[in-house]
């Protein structure tokens, strides 16, 4: 593995995207789907077609927040023998090919099993910028907060429509990079209309003092990207890219990214 410096700053990347365009686009793909090399090539295609930050998913056997498209991809990756340690190889390859921040999105149990400090150190060695932890709340995340302070890694916590004001404030004060605003109750997946609850979540995060927040769950068109960037700092796209990869391969991901990131252009 290449000996990287700490990964590129997510905050700086989002700030630059907001200064130069309507905002940032974060693109999600699962590591190891349909195989490790193709997942790397697909992530690189995202970056080469306008995606500002890559969210690389660590396949997990019990993905409580993921919709059917991402669940199927994770299941296929695991069935093909994907192992946790391979996510670091994927990050290393991606960061050697494109100059974009890579955040690993993972449920907390695999990090605990691997060892929190070891996981953080291997993220740094691979060139990752940090972690998105959908099922970890800040007041249960002391081990990760300590490890990320030690290593300088970003930590992205979630805020949902159901979050109390206290939980919103926790997410704001504990996150580094951005806060992930979940736009709907339930699981991920492209929706016809991004839930208007997203605006409420973002406004509550702003009231709690958030510097940067990106909206995810359900964004699948350039118009939805444009709409989200009217009030948020970034739009997170997942299922639309995973479906493109499953149906049309790496070129399909490239074409979809070029289309969707057009929603971040200033009108």
Tell me the catalytic residues: 55, 66
The tokens describing 243, both together, are: 């479906």
Residue 24, preceding peptide bond in cis (omega within 30° of 0): no
Number of neighbours of residue 228 by Cβ within 10 angstroms: 30
User: Which phi and psi angles does 265 have, rounded to 5°?
Assistant: -70, 145
Question: How do the residues of the chain divide into helix, strand and coil, expressed in percent and rounded to 5?
Answer: 50, 15, 35
Please compute, for residue 68, the number of CA atoms within 13 A of its CA located in the half-sphere on the CB side.
Answer: 2
Question: Which CA distances in Å does 190 have to 2, 46, 52?
Answer: 36, 18, 20
Q: How far is Cα 110 from Cα 203, in angstroms, rounded to an integer?
A: 33
Q: How far is Cα 148 from Cα 132, in angstroms, rounded to an integer?
A: 12
The tokens describing 246, both together, are: 């499953």
Cα Rg of the chain, angstroms: 17
């Amino acid at each position: 593995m290449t000996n990287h410096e700490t990964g590129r700053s997510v905050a700086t990347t989002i700030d630059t995207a907001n200064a130069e365009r309507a905002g940032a686009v974060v693109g999600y793909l699962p590591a190891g789907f349909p195989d490790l090399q193709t997942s790397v090539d697909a992530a690189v295609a995202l970056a080469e077609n306008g995606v500002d930050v890559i969210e690389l998913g660590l396949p997990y056997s019990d993905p409580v927040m993921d919709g059917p498209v991402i669940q199927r991809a994770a299941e296929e990756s695991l069935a093909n023998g994907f192992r946790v340690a391979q996510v670091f190889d994927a990050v290393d390859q991606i960061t050697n090919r494109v100059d974009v921040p890579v955040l690993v999105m993972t449920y907390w149990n695999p990090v605990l099993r691997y060892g929190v400090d070891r996981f953080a150190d291997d993220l740094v060695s691979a060139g990752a910028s940090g972690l998105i932890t959908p099922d970890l709340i800040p007041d249960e995340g002391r081990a990760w907060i300590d490890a990320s302070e030690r290593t300088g890694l970003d930590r992205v916590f979630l805020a949902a429509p159901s979050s109390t004001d206290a939980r919103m404030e926790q997410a704001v004060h504990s996150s580094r990079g951005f806060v992930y605003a979940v736009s709907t109750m339930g699981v991920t997946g492209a929706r016809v209309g991004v839930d208007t609850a997203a605006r409420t979540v973002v406004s509550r995060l702003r009231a709690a003092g958030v510097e940067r927040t990106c909206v995810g769950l359900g964004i699948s068109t350039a118009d939805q990207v444009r709409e989200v960037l009217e009030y948020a700092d970034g739009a997170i796209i997942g299922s639309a890219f995973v479906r493109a990869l499953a149906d049309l391969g790496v070129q399909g991901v490239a074409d979809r990214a070029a289309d969707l990131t057009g929603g971040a252009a200033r009108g």
